[in-house]
Amino acid sequence: MLLYDDTTGANNPRFVRIFLAEKNLKVPMKQVSIMKGEHKSEEFRKISPSAKLPALVLDDGTVILESVAICRYFENLHPEPPLLGRDAMDKVIVEMWHRRMEFEVMLPMALAFRNTFSPLATMWKQYKDFGEQQKRVADRRLEMLDRELEGRPFIAGEHYTIADIRVQTSFDLFRLAGFEIKEEWINLKQWYETVSSRPSAKA
Ligand SMILES: N[C@@H](CCC(=O)N[C@@H](CS)C(=O)NCC(=O)O)C(=O)O
Protein backbone atom coordinates (compact mmCIF):
# COMPACT_ATOMS: atom_id res chain seq x y z
CA MET A 1 0.00 0.00 0.00
CA LEU A 2 1.03 3.61 -0.43
CA LEU A 3 -0.29 6.67 1.36
CA TYR A 4 0.03 9.89 -0.61
CA ASP A 5 0.84 12.55 1.94
CA ASP A 6 1.86 16.18 2.14
CA THR A 7 3.93 17.50 5.01
CA THR A 8 4.11 21.10 3.83
CA GLY A 9 1.21 22.12 6.07
CA ALA A 10 -2.02 20.59 4.70
CA ASN A 11 -4.43 19.60 7.45
CA ASN A 12 -6.20 16.53 6.02
CA PRO A 13 -2.94 14.63 5.43
CA ARG A 14 -1.90 15.51 9.00
CA PHE A 15 -5.29 14.31 10.26
CA VAL A 16 -4.44 10.84 8.89
CA ARG A 17 -0.85 10.97 10.17
CA ILE A 18 -2.05 11.71 13.71
CA PHE A 19 -4.61 8.91 13.44
CA LEU A 20 -1.89 6.45 12.37
CA ALA A 21 0.45 7.66 15.13
CA GLU A 22 -2.28 7.09 17.73
CA LYS A 23 -2.53 3.51 16.48
CA ASN A 24 1.23 3.16 16.24
CA LEU A 25 0.96 2.13 12.60
CA LYS A 26 3.72 2.72 10.07
CA VAL A 27 2.55 2.98 6.47
CA PRO A 28 4.70 3.56 3.37
CA MET A 29 4.20 7.15 2.23
CA LYS A 30 4.91 9.22 -0.82
CA GLN A 31 5.14 12.98 -0.51
CA VAL A 32 3.16 15.13 -2.96
CA SER A 33 3.81 18.80 -2.29
CA ILE A 34 0.74 21.02 -2.53
CA MET A 35 2.95 24.09 -2.16
CA LYS A 36 4.87 23.05 -5.28
CA GLY A 37 1.64 22.18 -7.12
CA GLU A 38 2.64 18.50 -7.45
CA HIS A 39 -0.92 17.40 -6.59
CA LYS A 40 -2.14 18.89 -9.88
CA SER A 41 0.06 16.65 -12.02
CA GLU A 42 -1.57 14.33 -14.53
CA GLU A 43 0.04 11.38 -12.75
CA PHE A 44 -1.47 12.24 -9.35
CA ARG A 45 -4.87 13.06 -10.88
CA LYS A 46 -5.07 9.45 -12.08
CA ILE A 47 -5.22 8.54 -8.38
CA SER A 48 -7.13 11.55 -7.06
CA PRO A 49 -9.15 13.13 -9.90
CA SER A 50 -9.97 16.22 -7.84
CA ALA A 51 -6.25 16.61 -6.97
CA LYS A 52 -6.82 16.32 -3.21
CA LEU A 53 -4.69 14.74 -0.52
CA PRO A 54 -4.52 12.39 1.29
CA ALA A 55 -5.01 9.32 -0.92
CA LEU A 56 -4.39 5.69 -0.06
CA VAL A 57 -3.68 3.09 -2.75
CA LEU A 58 -3.97 -0.54 -1.67
CA ASP A 59 -1.90 -3.39 -3.08
CA ASP A 60 -4.82 -4.55 -5.23
CA GLY A 61 -5.07 -1.07 -6.77
CA THR A 62 -8.09 0.10 -4.76
CA VAL A 63 -7.93 3.85 -4.23
CA ILE A 64 -9.31 5.29 -1.00
CA LEU A 65 -9.81 9.06 -0.97
CA GLU A 66 -11.19 11.16 1.91
CA SER A 67 -9.38 11.34 5.22
CA VAL A 68 -12.16 9.71 7.24
CA ALA A 69 -12.56 6.81 4.77
CA ILE A 70 -8.81 6.20 5.00
CA CYS A 71 -9.01 6.26 8.80
CA ARG A 72 -11.99 3.90 8.77
CA TYR A 73 -10.01 1.45 6.63
CA PHE A 74 -7.25 1.34 9.26
CA GLU A 75 -9.72 1.29 12.17
CA ASN A 76 -11.41 -1.79 10.65
CA LEU A 77 -8.08 -3.60 10.39
CA HIS A 78 -6.63 -2.30 13.67
CA PRO A 79 -9.50 -1.53 16.03
CA GLU A 80 -7.30 -0.62 19.03
CA PRO A 81 -7.29 2.03 20.29
CA PRO A 82 -10.72 2.89 18.89
CA LEU A 83 -10.77 6.41 17.45
CA LEU A 84 -14.12 6.19 15.67
CA GLY A 85 -16.16 5.04 18.65
CA ARG A 86 -16.21 2.06 21.02
CA ASP A 87 -19.65 0.51 20.61
CA ALA A 88 -22.64 1.05 18.33
CA MET A 89 -23.96 4.09 20.20
CA ASP A 90 -20.54 5.63 20.77
CA LYS A 91 -19.82 5.34 17.02
CA VAL A 92 -22.94 7.41 16.35
CA ILE A 93 -21.87 10.04 18.88
CA VAL A 94 -18.33 10.24 17.47
CA GLU A 95 -19.65 10.60 13.95
CA MET A 96 -22.04 13.34 15.05
CA TRP A 97 -19.24 15.27 16.73
CA HIS A 98 -16.83 14.77 13.89
CA ARG A 99 -19.34 16.05 11.32
CA ARG A 100 -20.21 19.00 13.51
CA MET A 101 -16.55 19.89 13.97
CA GLU A 102 -15.88 19.51 10.26
CA PHE A 103 -18.72 21.78 9.18
CA GLU A 104 -19.02 24.15 12.11
CA VAL A 105 -15.36 24.65 13.06
CA MET A 106 -12.99 23.47 10.33
CA LEU A 107 -14.95 24.94 7.42
CA PRO A 108 -15.17 28.58 8.59
CA MET A 109 -11.57 28.41 9.82
CA ALA A 110 -10.39 27.07 6.47
CA LEU A 111 -12.34 29.71 4.56
CA ALA A 112 -10.93 32.46 6.77
CA PHE A 113 -7.43 31.07 6.22
CA ARG A 114 -7.78 30.77 2.45
CA ASN A 115 -9.13 34.28 2.15
CA THR A 116 -7.05 36.26 4.64
CA PHE A 117 -3.63 34.59 5.00
CA SER A 118 -1.67 36.75 2.57
CA PRO A 119 1.06 34.24 1.53
CA LEU A 120 -1.75 32.25 -0.10
CA ALA A 121 -2.64 35.12 -2.43
CA THR A 122 -0.19 33.71 -4.98
CA MET A 123 -2.17 30.44 -5.10
CA TRP A 124 -5.73 31.74 -5.54
CA LYS A 125 -7.84 34.91 -5.51
CA GLN A 126 -8.72 36.01 -1.99
CA TYR A 127 -11.95 37.63 -0.84
CA LYS A 128 -10.79 39.44 2.30
CA ASP A 129 -14.23 40.60 3.51
CA PHE A 130 -15.62 37.10 3.21
CA GLY A 131 -12.53 35.75 5.01
CA GLU A 132 -12.98 38.23 7.88
CA GLN A 133 -16.66 37.30 8.16
CA GLN A 134 -15.75 33.58 8.31
CA LYS A 135 -13.22 34.40 11.03
CA ARG A 136 -16.04 35.83 13.14
CA VAL A 137 -18.19 32.75 12.44
CA ALA A 138 -15.34 30.46 13.53
CA ASP A 139 -14.69 32.51 16.66
CA ARG A 140 -18.33 32.26 17.69
CA ARG A 141 -18.19 28.51 17.10
CA LEU A 142 -15.00 28.13 19.15
CA GLU A 143 -16.66 30.01 21.98
CA MET A 144 -19.59 27.60 21.79
CA LEU A 145 -17.23 24.63 21.75
CA ASP A 146 -15.61 25.96 24.91
CA ARG A 147 -19.01 25.81 26.63
CA GLU A 148 -19.80 22.37 25.21
CA LEU A 149 -16.50 20.99 26.54
CA GLU A 150 -17.53 21.80 30.12
CA GLY A 151 -17.25 18.66 32.25
CA ARG A 152 -15.63 16.35 29.73
CA PRO A 153 -12.04 15.89 28.61
CA PHE A 154 -12.57 15.28 24.90
CA ILE A 155 -14.95 16.55 22.25
CA ALA A 156 -17.01 13.36 21.92
CA GLY A 157 -16.81 12.48 25.62
CA GLU A 158 -14.34 10.51 27.69
CA HIS A 159 -12.00 9.39 24.92
CA TYR A 160 -9.78 10.99 22.31
CA THR A 161 -11.35 10.47 18.85
CA ILE A 162 -11.29 11.78 15.29
CA ALA A 163 -13.50 14.68 16.45
CA ASP A 164 -10.52 15.90 18.51
CA ILE A 165 -8.10 15.32 15.63
CA ARG A 166 -10.34 17.41 13.36
CA VAL A 167 -10.28 20.48 15.61
CA GLN A 168 -6.64 20.00 16.65
CA THR A 169 -5.37 19.88 13.04
CA SER A 170 -7.63 22.77 12.03
CA PHE A 171 -6.43 24.93 14.86
CA ASP A 172 -2.74 24.12 14.36
CA LEU A 173 -2.84 25.17 10.71
CA PHE A 174 -5.50 27.84 10.51
CA ARG A 175 -4.19 29.76 13.52
CA LEU A 176 -1.87 31.29 10.89
CA ALA A 177 -4.97 33.33 9.97
CA GLY A 178 -4.86 34.86 13.47
CA PHE A 179 -7.05 32.49 15.47
CA GLU A 180 -6.29 32.24 19.14
CA ILE A 181 -7.83 30.49 22.12
CA LYS A 182 -8.98 33.33 24.35
CA GLU A 183 -7.91 33.31 28.00
CA GLU A 184 -11.52 33.02 29.15
CA TRP A 185 -12.11 29.86 27.08
CA ILE A 186 -10.81 27.72 29.94
CA ASN A 187 -12.24 24.39 28.75
CA LEU A 188 -10.96 24.82 25.20
CA LYS A 189 -7.55 25.88 26.49
CA GLN A 190 -7.32 22.81 28.73
CA TRP A 191 -8.48 20.55 25.89
CA TYR A 192 -5.94 22.03 23.49
CA GLU A 193 -3.08 21.58 25.97
CA THR A 194 -4.13 17.95 26.50
CA VAL A 195 -4.35 17.01 22.82
CA SER A 196 -1.16 18.92 21.93
CA SER A 197 0.81 17.04 24.57
CA ARG A 198 -0.03 13.62 23.10
CA PRO A 199 2.96 12.11 21.26
CA SER A 200 0.84 11.86 18.10
CA ALA A 201 0.67 15.66 17.91
CA LYS A 202 4.21 15.59 16.48
CA ALA A 203 2.97 13.73 13.40
N1 LIG B 1 -12.65 15.99 2.31
C2 LIG B 1 -11.29 15.69 1.90
C3 LIG B 1 -10.58 17.01 1.70
C4 LIG B 1 -9.23 16.83 1.05
C5 LIG B 1 -8.55 18.19 0.85
O6 LIG B 1 -9.23 19.21 0.62
N7 LIG B 1 -7.22 18.19 0.89
C8 LIG B 1 -6.49 19.41 0.71
C9 LIG B 1 -5.30 19.43 1.66
S10 LIG B 1 -5.84 19.63 3.32
C11 LIG B 1 -5.94 19.46 -0.70
O12 LIG B 1 -5.51 18.46 -1.22
N13 LIG B 1 -5.95 20.64 -1.29
C14 LIG B 1 -5.37 20.86 -2.57
C15 LIG B 1 -6.20 21.80 -3.42
O16 LIG B 1 -7.35 22.09 -3.03
O17 LIG B 1 -5.70 22.23 -4.44
C18 LIG B 1 -10.61 14.82 2.97
O19 LIG B 1 -11.10 14.79 4.11
O20 LIG B 1 -9.62 14.14 2.68
pLDDT digits (tens, 9 = 90+) for 52-79: 999 999 999 999 999 999 999 999 999 9
Q: Euclidean distance between the first and final Cα of the chain, in Å?
A: 19
- Confidence band (pLDDT; 50, 70, 90) for 159? very high
Report the chain's C-alpha Rg in angstroms: 17
- Confidence band (pLDDT; 50, 70, 90) for 50? very high
Q: How many Å lie between the centroid of ligand 1 and the Cα of residue 14? A: 11
Q: Which of 52, 29, 57 is nearest to 40 (CA)?
A: 52
| Any ligand 1 atom below 6 A from CB of 53 | yes
Helix (H, G, I), strand (E, B) or coil at 8: coil
Residue type, 138: A
Q: Which of 90, 107, 176 is nearest to 142 (CA)?
A: 107
| Any ligand 1 atom below 6 A from CB of 110 | no
Round the average pLDDT of the chain to a whole number and report it. Answer: 97
Instruction: Provide the angle, in degrees to the nearest 10, between the axes of the packed helices 128-148 and 186-196.
Output: 90
Mean pLDDT in residue range 25-47: 96
Q: Whose CA is nearest to atom 6 of ligand 1?
A: 52
Do residues 109 and 102 touch, judged by C-beta distance below 8 A? Answer: no
- Confidence band (pLDDT; 50, 70, 90) for 126? very high
Q: How many Å lie between the centroid of ligand 1 and the Cα of residue 140? A: 24
Mean pLDDT in residue range 116-132: 93
* 48 CA closest ligand 1 atom index: 12
Q: How many Å lie between the centroid of ligand 1 and the Cα of residue 52? A: 4
Strand 2-5 relative to strand 29-31: parallel, antiparallel, unpaired? parallel
Do residues 31 and 6 touch, judged by C-beta distance below 8 A? Answer: yes
pLDDT (0 to 100) of residue 122: 87
| Any ligand 1 atom below 6 A from CB of 10 | yes
| Any ligand 1 atom below 6 A from CB of 169 | no
Please confirm whether the linkage preceding 153 is cis (ω < 30° from 0): no
Please confirm whether the linkage preceding 119 is cis (ω < 30° from 0): no
pLDDT > 90? residue 20:
yes
pLDDT (0 to 100) of residue 39: 96
| Any ligand 1 atom below 6 A from CB of 17 | no
pLDDT (0 to 100) of residue 129: 97
pLDDT > 90? residue 165:
yes
Helix (H) or strand (E) segment spanning residue 2? strand 2-5
pLDDT (0 to 100) of residue 123: 83
- Confidence band (pLDDT; 50, 70, 90) for 162? very high
| Any ligand 1 atom below 6 A from CB of 38 | no
* 66 CA closest ligand 1 atom index: 20
Q: Model confidence over 166-196: pLDDT tens digits?
A: 999 999 999 999 999 999 999 999 999 999 9
